[in-house]
Structure 1
């Protein structure tokens, strides 16, 4: 690794600029079906649509304490750093600091209406709860109601929490490693794509072990669940109120299994099969991926030529046209330059981009349709810009980026959590071949477990199940009918282990309930937090907005406007919050669930 480190030092001294292509950028979603009499309502953003590029204040200015001490941050929010044991088996040893952000409840804490904090986890593993609340906390607060504080935290090892997971000695070394050989891509891109991913995974696992400062083994879901209990207790409570998305469902299920008597209200949304996760299998996530993809194909046909830029009269024709795009890019990738960066649109980028849009179809499918239409004409700019990120920025002051989220951090959680897997290439090949029998999208999913191939051999003494508990209050599990990476089947399976729990189904494609606009779903979640009301078993909620814009003529629109109905002010506020959340949602990244 010496040549890489040398290049990294040169990159820092010269401040070379590199492009990182693989991050989620949300965009406007389709117009909603709901309209409100007497008003021309405009979409507005309650907060920034993207993750925070840099902190607006110094997290170093907050000393970690065992009692919560809140400091004003990010305009009208508050931040804190909670001191917790690094190793709960030896609590008097070293410590970790959990970075937290909150949106204060709409009622005073001494009010009889105050209901305490709701903790959030956006998934990943490796997602930042601080970023989530800074970006979308106001919308989540509107959904659950003013009686609660909305609290986001960066799990140990992640983002602004310390100690942090890092496999690289410099930011430039990391950037060079990921840009020269991107982490995400298709295993079908070339004859050696899988073997290169295998080799890259071996290197990442080796780097993790070689550069471990002694804290890496304590970055796992077991310890994070214990951290959550500490957070709750630091608020003066004993029972957790929680909304976890994607991997956050593993964290929630782990907490409920470890501390069943400490469950207050617990929602897991976009539910992972935790047994499969802890086995490091990742083998049943894609059961409904084809349904999610076909929602694009069928939705484009239904939208017509005015509603979908990639329209064709039949699903078969659209599928054929996508295959033509794939073939064309295999033969001749397209160079792209934008105002801020440049790169090459190739087969692997298109596959990865399409897969990512399946997470947020209501926000991304119209853009994808236009991008595919442009690609069919040889123009790759629109697709390139769908996940374009700011160029890499060198800094002479290392403290400027000391709390940025790092791409490798999620690997620490899932590899520490999961069962050891064989580093033998033939075993990796066998796993991939088996995954392809489950879904054609296995080519862009197989990378997830690769860093675990040569992971350090830490003791596997942490909680890994069973996920069976009679909790002090029943869980609410939420699943979509066409979730690309957490199939509804998994929610139903996990529910069987938690007495009295209920699965709420949302009839939509997309990852987690907040990827679509459904007042029905969010009202059930609101009532669950507010008064503990669970939906009836078997409840299925519809969505209230189309995937693609409707193609009414002006005359049709006038008639449609006259036929709209009035709803309450509370429903309108809720609808706007849910719609904004669907536009900004990127739950599940960076690792994929």
Structure 2
């Protein structure tokens, strides 16, 4: 047997072993996200815009006094937390301050070692997602990917969750809860649900914009991506460094591109993953995000057909038949919604809920496609419980101690960021209607995407003098951009477009459906990311990485074996494989009304 044949056989054995490990973990924990539900989420999961709410323990963020020096405190059993004081207004840095909440997974390598490589900042997206929550719950997996030489640091951007001042449009938790729990709330409503769905959503958006202006304590204008990029530089400097190492997902790609354009000489390693079109975002258009959404939905349809009746509960012999069955369920729910009562809550499964659940499932195929298939199969038989549980929120419970909820993650902050960031949009209903009609020509999923812009229609007249581009720079180190081939909200074309503005940057493509690379298990992709952080090695332009399996059960080992042999195996491959599988099965992007 030749050396090449031996290596090919070794690669095949490695990938087959990877498949069986993937299968065993999948069988043991088909939807392990439920393990992370906490008391905080139970009090008001409607306000929990991130599925990674940090588990309750005896630690209190109020016990940390914000300081200009980084002072780390033990928290959450095996993490360290800090609150860094930064200027609220960078044009007047000696005035009021803000406090940025941070959490870290400490490097295994001692900080005084020559092997220590410094901090990597993480942003999970949104806008409005909590980096603290992600690193608290998934920091170990991220650390496994990037390597023990780094600290992994999650931070809550200004205005978000534990960072203060926190944005809030509502005078009480109950007031926000009543608003969000409405069955016709604009974030839960398909614009195709009824003749008045779009105008009702527009009217609700007007109210949110008015509330933001009326209840502004003076800090609202400083909650934007420009200032958050400056905060990141302060975090880096507080570590005694001048250059940023960063991994940002989804909206985090906009934050990363903004930092690179504003501070090109302060880039050490910068990965943006699930790349959005920053120019389109800052124009407050959000109009080209859905270019590849049909591909993602097609991956569900074709994957279910290929998996067969034993691999997919909603199986049909052909894609055409499966699509027709979905249309039948839509029609049935329009005619007669299904009441559902679970052990913890109750509600109605209607057309809007089905559209929303399917759309959210496109973000996380490995976590959601098998579950969605089961829910659709039960829906076709008139049982809505499984689909209802996919979006179920625990009953709201009031708390006597308001300080207990001071650091809750609420949806208000994400709205503030995107409305402050973007160009002022016309607020008339006619403008909203025209935008929706144009979006509907581009994608059949416009009905669940349109709500993103609506709160900005009546946004207060705040200054728009912050950075909004151009996204062009010769950075001190080239950027690595990562995209899947079928991302439902940040298409591959956006990554290629943004890459053109940053000299020497490379787009790494992962051949899978889902939002961001970690939505699919690829050793190949994550090895490239690790090598980039550790050695500064960029993949060759045009590199495409495979995943180790499909979201549905499969036994096609051959293609995966050849493709995953891009990088030679090493001793830590098993740990890396377990980390990428765990992230793919649990990293559930559910930020309310965001990326």
Pairwise same-fold verdict (TM > 0.5): yes
CA contact (8 A) 2:364 2:584 kept: yes
How far has the Cα of 1:37 moved from its partner?
A: 11
Alignment partner of 1:347 is 2:329:
no
CA contact (8 A) 2:284 2:423 kept: yes
Q: 1:439 & 1:352 partners in 2: Cα distance? A: 15
- Give the number of the structure whose residues are more often helix, by fraction: 2
How far has the Cα of 1:262 moved from its partner?
A: 0.2
Name the CA shift for 1:88/1:281 in 2 (closer, same or farther; >3 Å): same
Q: What is the aligned counterpart of 1:464 among 456, 468, 491? A: 468
Q: Which residue of 1 aligns with 2:544?
A: 540
How far has the Cα of 1:587 moved from its partner?
A: 3.6
How far has the Cα of 1:51 moved from its partner?
A: 2.1
Q: 2:67 & 2:455 partners in 1: Cα distance? A: 34
Q: 1:189 & 1:347 partners in 2: Cα distance? A: 7
Alignment partner of 1:228 is 2:210:
no
Q: 2:465 & 2:291 partners in 1: Cα distance? A: 30
Alignment partner of 1:51 is 2:52:
yes
Q: 1:490 & 1:305 partners in 2: Cα distance? A: 36
Q: 2:390 & 2:24 partners in 1: Cα distance? A: 27
Q: What is the aligned counterpart of 2:420 among 416, 420, 432? A: 416
Alignment partner of 1:207 is 2:211:
yes
Which residues of 2 match residues 547-562 of structure 1 at below 5 A? Answer: 547-550=551-554
Q: What is the aligned counterpart of 1:166 among 141, 165, 168? A: 168
CA contact (8 A) 1:478 1:505 kept: yes
Alignment partner of 1:330 is 2:312:
no
CA contact (8 A) 2:54 2:136 kept: no
CA contact (8 A) 2:36 2:55 kept: no
CA contact (8 A) 2:312 2:373 kept: yes
Q: Which residue of 1 aligns with 2:17?
A: 35
Q: What is the aligned counterpart of 1:268 among 267, 272, 279? A: 272
Which residues of 2 match residues 124-139 of structure 1 at below 5 A? Answer: 124-139=126-141
Q: 2:110 & 2:76 partners in 1: Cα distance? A: 21
Name the CA shift for 1:313/1:33 in 2 (closer, same or farther; >3 Å): farther
How far has the Cα of 1:484 moved from its partner?
A: 0.2
Q: 2:108 & 2:317 partners in 1: Cα distance? A: 51
Q: What is the aligned counterpart of 2:105 among 103, 106, 111? A: 103
Q: C-alpha offsets along residues 16-57 of structure 1, whole Å, 9 cap, x if unaligned? A: xxxxxxxxxxxxxxxx96426998965688994752266431
Q: C-alpha offsets along residues 339-373 of structure 1, whole Å, 9 cap, x if unaligned? A: 10000000000000000000001110000000000
Q: Which residue of 2 aligns with 1:144?
A: 146
Q: 1:371 & 1:506 partners in 2: Cα distance? A: 28
How far has the Cα of 1:590 moved from its partner?
A: 2.6
Q: Which residue of 1 aligns with 2:195?
A: 191
Question: How many residues in Structure 1 have an aligned counterpart in Structure 2?
Answer: 553
How far has the Cα of 1:387 moved from its partner?
A: 2.0
Q: 1:408 & 1:36 partners in 2: Cα distance? A: 42
Q: C-alpha offsets along residues 246-276 of structure 1, whole Å, 9 cap, x if unaligned? A: 0000000000000000000000000000000
Q: Which residue of 2 aligns with 1:318?
A: 322
Gaps of 5+ in 2: 1-13, 38-50, 558-563
Q: C-alpha offsets along residues 421-448 of structure 1, whole Å, 9 cap, x if unaligned? A: 1111011000000000110000000000
Q: Which residue of 2 aligns with 1:576?
A: 578
Q: Which residue of 1 aligns with 2:382?
A: 378
Q: 1:36 & 1:187 partners in 2: Cα distance? A: 43
Q: 1:373 & 1:38 partners in 2: Cα distance? A: 27
Q: 2:369 & 2:525 partners in 1: Cα distance? A: 22
Alignment partner of 1:65 is 2:67:
yes
CA contact (8 A) 2:248 2:255 kept: yes
Name the CA shift for 1:543/1:37 in 2 (closer, same or farther; >3 Å): closer
Q: 1:38 & 1:75 partners in 2: Cα distance? A: 33
Q: Which residue of 2 aligns with 1:589?
A: 591
How far has the Cα of 1:545 moved from its partner?
A: 1.9
Q: C-alpha offsets along residues 295-334 of structure 1, whole Å, 9 cap, x if unaligned? A: 0000011000110000000000000000000000000000
Q: 2:84 & 2:118 partners in 1: Cα distance? A: 17
Q: Which residue of 1 aligns with 2:252?
A: 248
**What is the Cα-based RMSD across aligned positions, in Å?**
2.1
Q: C-alpha offsets along residues 380-435 of structure 1, whole Å, 9 cap, x if unaligned? A: 00000112122211111101111000112100000000001111101100000000
Q: 1:218 & 1:458 partners in 2: Cα distance? A: 10
